[in-house]
Amino acid sequence: MSALSELGSWFYRRRNQVPGAYWLPVALPGLRVAWFASLYNRGLVGSLPVGWGMTNAGAATYAVATDWPGVLVPYVSGTYWTLPDSVIVSPTGDMTCGGWFYATTSGAKRGWINKWYQTGVNQRSYALYVDVSDAATFDISADGIGTSVKSVAGSAISTDQWTFAVGRIACGVSQDVFVNGTWIRDTASVPASVYDGSCKLYVGRWNESGANYWDGYSAQWWLCGYYVPDSHIAWLFEEQASYFGLT
């Protein structure tokens, strides 16, 4: 890191309301696992629990944004990431997932966080992604079958800036999407459970059998086996926003 970048990093740590706000996802209730691009090393993204590094597909690029003052965060790009199926990444009840992403193109379906395999098999569980109209979207299936998928579209994202996106479900009650401070909630025909599919967890790819790779950068992402309350999501967004150039 250059001297200017390091100075900028300390600037943001000091001016943010909570020093070290970059790491705040570890305080989320019901946290199962969290990944941070800042811990990138030898093809892995550092994670909690310790040692749960995600494996990248293809050539990954690690960098730190250096336009200070403004944005100063570590990120990865140029690949998607996988973690083998396990009970940890396969919540079957209330759940919340989210993270910080940066789009460099628009107009195509691109994956963020999912366990979703739809071609020829019924292995759909959950998927947080951007649809062809650039809307942040959260899909849930209770049985893995395409005809039973519940899809909720949130606000459209913008290119060339960081987006904080969250998908959340209170099974049988509400399925919601949060984008940079705005909630979209749907209480109609919400699935009573989340399907326990056997495909891998993907970050940066939608649908295990297709391309639909995320075209941009990823900074951090996390998964909770809990319906994280509005207050916690708002807190996390507000405390982290200055790191990502949002005020």
* Pairing of β 201-203 and β 123-130: unpaired
Q: Give the global pTM.
A: 0.88
DSSP 138-160: EEE-SSS-GGG-EEEEEEEP-BS
Predicted confidence at residue 67, as pLDDT, reads: 65
Cα 36 to Cα 218: distance, rounded to the nearest angstrom: 9
* Pairing of β 80-83 and β 174-179: unpaired
Residue pLDDT, tens place only, 41-56: 544 555 665 556 777 7
Is residue 18's pLDDT more than 60?
Answer: no
- Identify the burial level of 102 via C-beta atoms within 10 angstroms of its C-beta, where 0-12 means exposed, 13-18 middle and 19 or more buried: buried
Domains belonging to the chain, first-starting first, are 3-243 (2.60.120.200)
Segment 231-247 shows an average pLDDT of 91
Owner of token pair 């150039």: 245
| Range from 48-57, 68-77, 183-192 that averages highest in pLDDT | 183-192
138 and 230 Cβ atoms separated by less than 8 Å: no
Report residue 21 CA to chain centroid gap: 17
Q: Cis omega before residue 49 (within 30°)?
A: yes
Q: Name residue 55's beta-bridge partners.
A: 44, 82
Confidence of residue 174 (pLDDT cuts 50, 70, 90): very high
Residue pLDDT, tens place only, 77-125: 877 888 889 999 999 999 999 999 999 999 999 999 999 987 767 899 9
